[in-house]
């Protein structure tokens, strides 16, 4: 709608996790480097957690792209499986045909044979699970059994879990401590600070084809940072609505007023504290003093 008006070739703040828009913010870049190093060293379990909207799925896809051609990957985006369903899903991802009605034990044996076959060909296998906080507890135990598949010298399957902070609470339960002990590396994605938000906005605009002067002024970026809490998904929502607001007014620069309209139109964000609050507090403090100095 507004792309040509602002000199853009595409929408810069789409919620679709496009890896072209991945920004090497500090915590996100650290997480990607951790993943690549740990997988290269054949570590077992790796866990990445972050609040809703911090970019876990985008990081997950960035990892899958980085692994493409280097190892065999199995990707489960919605892991609400029973234990048997998990084994079948992994088997399908690895090209292993399973007969209807076969038991869990038979599927696990088939997976073990397939993984040994791939290992003999020099192929590393990585299982990547997104939204891991949704895995039922019985299936988490099945996941641990999958991690047991190894030879005397080679780990046959590496597992990466991406999940919301609730995943940490689930894994902290005493009955799941065996799996928790197997997680060798973990990283938390942090929200972006003000400088990173500015870089994030500029990066996405640039990737969408913008090459002019800064499109968002300093006040707009400050409001965007405070209202979004540095959460990339919320930044996208507010930035998109701010562009719509400016476009509707025929203005080619995004100012604070446009971001304020975007904030008012978005229920899922926290409202920034208004600047008049200190004056209200001061009024309450000064009023008693005025009664002392005013003549009767």
pTM for this model (two decimals): 0.85
Tell me: do 184 and 207 sit in the same domain.
Answer: no
Query: Which of 41-55, 89-103, 167-181, 240-254 has the largest mean confidence?
Result: 240-254
pLDDT at 280: 37
The pLDDT score that the predictor gives to residue 270 is 58
Residue 73 phi/psi, 5° resolution? -120, 140
Final residue of a structural domain among 161, 189, 217: 189
Asked if residue 210 and residue 130 are part of one domain, the reply reads no
Domain assignment present for residue 65? The answer is yes
Average pLDDT over residues 56-81: 94
Within a domain: 5: no
pLDDT recorded at residue 236: 96
Verify that 112 and 200 share a domain, yes or no: no
Q: Which of 100-109, 122-131, 199-208, 248-257 has the lowest mean pLDDT?
A: 100-109
One domain for residues 133 and 259:
no
Residues 232 and 103 in one domain: no
Are residues 179 and 60 located together in one domain of the fold?
yes
Residue 152: what pLDDT? 67
pLDDT in tens, 124-165: 999 999 999 999 999 998 898 888 887 767 789 999 999 999
Pick from 164, 189, 214: which residue ends a domain? 189
Sign for the CA dihedral angle at 89, 95, 101, 107 comes to: negative
Task: Note down the domain range covering 253.
Answer: 194-264
> Has residue 273 got a pLDDT over 60?
no
**pLDDT above 70 coverage of the chain, percent:** 90
What lies within 8 Å, CB to CB, of 251 at 6+ separation is 258
Same domain, 142 and 174: yes
Mean pLDDT of 17-39: 92
Domain count, the chain: 2
Q: What is the DSSP string of the chain?
A: --TTTTT-SS-TT-SS--GGG----HHHHHHHHHHHHHHHTT-SEEEEEE-TTSSHHHHHHHHHHHHBTTBEEEEESS----HHHHHHHHHHHTT----TT--HHHHHHHHHHHHHHHHHTT--EEEEESSGGGS-HHHHHHHHHHHT-B-SS-B--EEEEEE-THHHHHHTSGGGHHHHHHEEEEEEEPPP-HHHHHHHHHHHHHHTT--SS-SB-HHHHHHHHHHHTT-HHHHHHHHHHHHHHHHHTT-SSB-HHHHHHHHHT-TTSPPPPPTTHHHHHHHHHHHHHHHHHS--
CATH (domain of 260): 1.10.8.60
Do 24 and 164 fall within a single domain?
A: yes
Note the pLDDT tens digit of each residue in 76-135. Answer: 998 999 998 999 999 999 988 877 677 888 888 889 999 999 999 989 999 999 999 999
The answer to whether residues 93 and 233 belong to one domain is: no
Q: Work out the angle at residue 293's Cα, subtended by the Cα atoms of residues 292 and 296, and round it to the nearest 5 degrees.
A: 80
Averaged pLDDT, 246-275: 85
pLDDT average, residue stretch 191-201? 95
* pLDDT above 60: residue 287: no
In a domain, 133, yes or no: yes
Higher pLDDT pick, 99 / 54:
54
Is 79 in contact with 132 (CB distance < 8 Å)?
A: yes
End position of a domain, from candidates 189, 221, 241: 189
Residue 281 has pLDDT above 50, yes or no: no
In a domain, 241, yes or no: yes
């Amino acid at each position: 709608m507004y792309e040509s008006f602002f000199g853009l070739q595409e929408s810069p703040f789409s919620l679709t996790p496009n890896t072209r828009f991945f920004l090497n913010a500090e915590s996100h870049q650290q997480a990607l480097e951790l993943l690549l190093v740990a997988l290269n060293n054949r570590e077992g379990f790796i866990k990445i957690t972050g609040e809703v909207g911090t970019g876990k799925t985008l990081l997950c896809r960035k990892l899958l792209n980085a692994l493409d051609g280097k190892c065999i990957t199995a990707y489960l985006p919605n892991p609400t499986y029973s234990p048997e369903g998990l084994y079948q899903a992994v088997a399908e991802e690895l090209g292993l045909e399973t007969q209807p009605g076969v038991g869990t034990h038979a599927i696990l044996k088939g997976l073990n044979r397939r993984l040994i076959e791939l290992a003999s060909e020099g192929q590393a296998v990585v299982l990547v699970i997104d939204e891991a906080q949704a895995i039922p507890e019985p299936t988490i135990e099945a996941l641990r059994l999958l991690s047991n598949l190894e030879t005397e010298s080679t780990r046959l399957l590496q597992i990466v879990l991406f999940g919301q902070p609730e995943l940490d609470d689930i894994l902290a339960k005493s009955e799941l401590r065996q799996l928790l002990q197997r997680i060798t590396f973990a990283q938390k994605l942090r929200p972006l600070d003000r400088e990173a938000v500015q870089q994030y906005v500029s990066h996405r605009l640039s990737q969408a084809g913008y090459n002019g002067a800064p499109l968002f002024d300093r006040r707009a970026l400050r409001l965007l940072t405070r209202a979004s809490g540095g959460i990339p998904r919320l930044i996208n929502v507010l930035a998109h609505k701010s562009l719509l607001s400016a476009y509707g007014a025929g203005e080619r620069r995004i100012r604070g007023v446009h971001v304020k309209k975007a904030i008012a139109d978005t229920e899922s964000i926290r409202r920034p504290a208004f600047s008049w609050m200190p004056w209200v507090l001061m009024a309450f403090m000064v009023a008693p003093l005025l009664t002392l100095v005013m003549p009767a």
